[in-house]
Every structure is written in structure tokens, then in C-alpha cells.
Structure 1
């Protein structure tokens, strides 16, 4: 049995510039962090006592004899790409719901890649996991996804990520004093809106609008530099991060009319009215988790204003995708 644990993520600034359709022309950069909420993938060779050859368990249970029959696109394509030729059983468990703006689909892909490599007795690098997950999601499956989620899933941490026109990327950890880091995290509040959405569909509309909204995306990229300077300067007002989140959300929701909805707008306005300095809907838009920046003296008021929503406590994950159970010597199918 192999079990991989892969974090979800919170993106703060620069979203949109991580789509290859953008950064191959202009370059891109984002700032955010992985969180200590995880996707778990358990994997083993399926013993030869069943009528089916493969079993895949997620929100559905699939029992199939051929990889081509697997309905889950990431599982089907990853197993094909990695030329898995033995019977296999895969279980997925997540700390938070899928389709919620936290990069869960990329965490799944990264975690599955990591687990399969471990089952084969291979150690793998974070760069390989991120690069291969990006390739599979964008080029093989053909989803409308950016390139930041896979990197945070693989690397973990609080990072600035730069995307180059040639397709390469750089991950630069933000090294902060503990009190500065704790102050930022302590001012962030995460709520589940209760709405889920198909991120690829919304992202497709966003991608189509990027060139028409060039000034928006370039300002969102500039906010990455501004935020890094604020976080790294102990004399700077850290609450400017909250004010920048508000500006960034206004820019993001103007990219396409599918980013927000009247219900999302009402939730955001309630949080701001209660005293939050800023916030944003995470991920492509349309639903999922919403993040607010509120100083400790205003958080109870924000919590009361959003009492119908589920709040999730979190911290930064520093390890990225890792193998947490490695017991490779189970019964193998021959």
C-alpha cells in the first residue's frame, strides 16, 4: 500500500498570468501558499481474486477491466501515460470538497503521480511532479487550467512563482520572520460558499478575455511584486495585503461575467460591511471558497455576518506532496 498526501492551495495575487496562453506572450507571476488541508491517494496492486482488473474509488466507485474504461479523466490519462499494466486499486479522500477553488484537481493529479512512482520504487522530485502534472492536465487531458496549482501541490510553502515565456518556471520561497508570517495567516479567514462549479468551463471564458483585459492582468501581476515587498518589509503595514486583495478581486471579477454571481457578490459585500479589508473568491470563480482579510478585532463581526457559511481554519503547508505510507510489498497480480 502506498499513500500520498498532497496539499491544496490559496492563491493571493497574479492569478490569470499563469495560463500558458498569457505567459508565453507576456511572462507571468503569482504569489500564494499551500495549506494544511490535503488530498490523500492510496494505491496498491489489486489482488487477482476479483472479476474486475482495476478499482477506482472517489465520489464514484468504478470497477473496470481496462484503463480505457475509466471515467475519471485524470486517473485514465495518468495510468495511460505512465503505462500501468498491472491491476490497480486507487482510493481518493480529501479534507475539503472538490471543485471549490483550492486547486483540488491538480492536487489529485500530483498525488496520483507521486503514488505511482513510489509504487514502482522510484523517488521523484517536486519539479518532476509539477511539470508532469501540468503537461497531463493541459496537453493530454486538454483542460483549461493554469500552471500554479500543480506547483503549489508539488512544492508546498509560501512562494512567489515566476512563469517564463519558454514554459519554464521558478519557485521562490518567501522567507519571513515567524511573527510576520503568523500575522498574515492570522488575518485571513476562509469560508465555503456552498456553491461548486466546473472550473475548466469558467477558466475557458477567462482565457478568452485575457488579451482584451491586458491592463487588468498586468496590474494583477504587479501586485505580486507589491505584496512581496510588503511581506518582506517589517516596517510596512501588513494590512495593505488586505486592501490589495480587495483591488485584485475587483480586477478579477471584471475579467468575465462568469467569475462572480449575485450570491457571491452578496457574500463578499457582507464580509466587507462587517469590517474585512478585502478578500477574493479563490480559483477560477463561480463558487467554492472565499477568502477574507480581517484584523483580529473585526473577525468576530465577519464571522457573525457569514454565520451561514462553513469557516475552515488553516495554516501553511511547508512540505508539498509526500508519501506518508510506503509498504510496497503487497500481493501483486501476475
Structure 2
């Protein structure tokens, strides 16, 4: 039995510049971090040749072609597994419409687990590229490449998307005390509002030619923002997050919604410095920066935004070297990617 554990991510800066239609012309840059919330994929051999899938639904089929779930179906096809296994997917937080890259974390975790099931351990770059191929080339999802790379590599990193299609991956110099400082001032709320990212990104792509200036501004903010993360600068981080989000809101009316705007306004009244919605879907998670002294009032603001708004307690995920140490201590064998693998 194989269990993969793949982190979700918070995209701080540069979201939207990882779409091919933009980076092929101008290059793209995204700064993000994975967090300690995960998608788990469990793969187990069966006694027969059937395929059993357990997610929000349950599928029992005799052929890969009969699978309704697009990512399960196309990943099994690509890997070359035709039957005789059961796969279960679970997640630490609601995985649909969270704005934390859960769909790509699912794909990365599934790719990682299925190749491990076959005894073929892949590296993080290869896993990320395979996941991109499945989601972007095969399924034609109008999405970028940042989420697959963040899930595969893990940690605080920058991802530079070159016009050639290559991706440069660099670690950000965020020390442990700066990570703790950021954890102390950053709060995430799950709003209970969900939309498919593809619907919002389709609208963004449609407006790309007329909104190129906004994406260039988003990229420029990303180019100059690494220092606020590396210093653990809450005020600077909040201001830049807000600037980037305001630019992104101009690209598509679906980036935000009256409900999200209302929650954001109430958070500012409660003492938050600024923030953003890390995804692009007009819902999901809202990331807020608040000074230590106003943390309680900001945390309390979700109680006034409706019964579905929930505070998410998350810490920034460790870099892979630290995760490897923890996996060894827990008796897990980790793949050379952001997703760890347990073998049973």
C-alpha cells in the first residue's frame, strides 16, 4: 500500500503570470509557500482486476475508460495502470474551491503515488511536469503551472516561468524566526464560498490582451517582494498583497465577489493590515495580515461574516530537508519531491 502526502500552498505574489499565454511573451514569476495542510492519496492493490475510487463519490469500474473523475482517469491512462487497485483521496481541509491549489496537489499526489506503486520513484520536477501535462495539455484546463510546482517542491520558493516553457525554482531565504513571525501575523479564513478555478481563469484568459498591463504590474510586484517575506515584515507583506490583489481584481470581475469584499472590509475594521484571496476563484480562503495586538479581534471577525466562515490554523511547511528529517523520525520513506511517500 502506498500513501502520498502532498502539501497545499499559499500563493503570495505573481499569480496569473504562470499562464502560458502570458509567460511565453513576458516571462512569469510566482512566490509561494506550502503549508501544513495536505491532500492524501492511498493506493492499494486489489484481489481482482477492477478499479475502485473513493473521493467525494465512489466509483467501481472494470475499465479506465469508464472512470468519471477526469484526473483519476487521465492519470491512470498516462501511468499505464489498467486495473487491480483501489485509490482513496482525503484532505485536511475542503479541497474544492479552497484557493490553495488543492486540485494540483491532488494531481501531484496521485502521480507520485501511482509511480511509487509501480516502483518508479520520480523527482519533483518530473512529477510537476507530468501533472502539468495532465491538467493543462490533456484536460485543457485554463490554468497555470505554479500549483503543480509548489506541490512537488514544497517550502518557501520562487518559480520563474521562462518564455521557453522552462521553470527556474529557487528557495527563498526565509529563516525559522521569520517563518514564526509570519505565522504570528498571518491568518487564513475559509469563507465557505467556492467556485471552480477554471471558470474564473477562462474569463481571465478572455481578457488577457486588454489586461496585459495589470499582469505586468503583478509580475513587477513579485519581482520586488521577496524581501518582505525574508524579513517577516507583516506590514510590508500586507500592503504588497493588497496591491497585487487589487491589480488582479481588474483583470476579471470574477476574481472577487460582494461576499468576499464584505468579509475583507470587516477584517480591515477589526484591525487587519491588508491581505488577499490566494486563489483566483472569488471565494475559498482569505489570507489576512494583522499585527500581534489585533490578532484576537481579527480572528473574531469571522464570527460576524456568517456561519460558514472558519479560521484555518496553519503553519508554513518546512523545506524538504526538514521534512525528510521528520519523515525519517516517523519511519516514513520520502520521495524526492514535496509529497512524502509511506510504503506498507
Same fold (TM over 0.5): yes
Q: Distance in 1 between matches of 2:108 and 2:259?
A: 32
8 A contact 2:234–2:289 mirrored in 1:
no
The answer on whether the counterparts of 2:113 and 2:341 sit within 8 Å (CA) in structure 1 is: no
CA deviations 1:212-235 (Å, max 9, x no partner) are 11221111111112211333458x
Is the CA contact (8 Å cut-off) linking 1:6 and 1:321 kept in structure 2? yes
Distance in 1 (CA, whole Å) between partners of 2:101 and 2:231 is: 29
For the residue of structure 2 that corresponds to 1:153, the secondary structure is helix
Which of 182, 190, 197 is residue 180 of structure 2 equivalent to? 182
Q: How many angstroms apart in 2 are the aligned matches of 1:230 and 1:140? A: 38
Cross-structure match for 1:242: 238
Q: CA deviation at 1:186?
A: 1.8
1:69 aligns with 2:66: yes
- Native 8 Å contact 1:45 1:86 kept in 2: no
C-alpha offsets along residues 145-201 of structure 1, whole Å, 9 cap, x if unaligned?
Answer: 110000011010001110000100011111123222221232110000001111111
Give the Cα separation in 1 of the matches to 2:72 and 2:197.
18
Q: How far apart, in 1, do the equivalents of 2:291 and 2:195 lie?
A: 30
User: 2:334 corresponds to which residue?
Assistant: none
Residue number in structure 1 paired with 2:130: 132
| Number of equivalences | 322
Within the alignment, does 1:83 sit opposite 2:80 as a pair? yes
* Aligned residue runs from structure 1 range 112-127, under 5 A: 112-127=110-125
Preserved contact between residue 246 and residue 277 of structure 1 (Cα < 8 Å): no
Q: Is the 8 A contact 1:274 1:305 kept in 2?
A: yes
1:30 aligned counterpart, secondary structure? strand
C-alpha contact 1:4 1:321 (8 A) present in aligned 2: no
1:107 alignment counterpart: 105
- The yes-or-no answer on 1:24 pairing with 2:34 is no
Q: RMSD between aligned alpha carbons?
A: 1.4
Q: Which of residues 20, 45, 52 in structure 2 aligns to 1:55?
A: 52
- Higher RCO (CA < 8 A, seq sep 6+): 1
Q: State whether residues 2 and 326 of structure 1, in contact with CA within 8 Å, keep that contact through their aligned partners in structure 2.
A: yes
Name 1:281's counterpart in structure 2: 277
Counterpart residue number, 2:331? none
What is the SS of the residue equivalent to 1:12?
Answer: strand
Distance 2:78 2:341 in 1: 24
Correspondence for 1:208 = 206
Q: 1-side partners of 2:248 and 2:43: how far apart? A: 38
What is the alpha-carbon distance in structure 1 between the residues aligned to residue 339 and residue 222 of structure 2? 28
Q: Which residue of 2 aligns with 1:224?
A: 222
The aligned residue for residue 94 of structure 1 is 91
User: Conserved in 2, the CA contact under 8 Å of 1:45 and 1:88?
Assistant: yes
**Is 1:4–1:111's contact at 8 Å kept on the other side of the alignment?**
yes
Q: How far apart in 2 are the matches of 1:212 and 1:90?
A: 43
**What TM-score, normalized by structure 1, do the two folds share?**
0.93
Structure 1 consecutive aligned stretches of length 4 or more whose deviation exceeds 4 Å = none
Q: Distance in 1 between matches of 2:6 and 2:66?
A: 26
Higher mean C-alpha displacement, 277-286 vs 74-83: 277-286
Name the residue aligned to 1:332. none
Q: TM-score, normalised by structure 2?
A: 0.90
CA distance in 1, matches of 2:185, 2:234: 10
C-alpha distance in 1 between matches for 2:64 and 2:174: 46
* 315-324 or 257-266, which deviates more: 315-324
How far 1:211 moved relative to its partner? 2.4
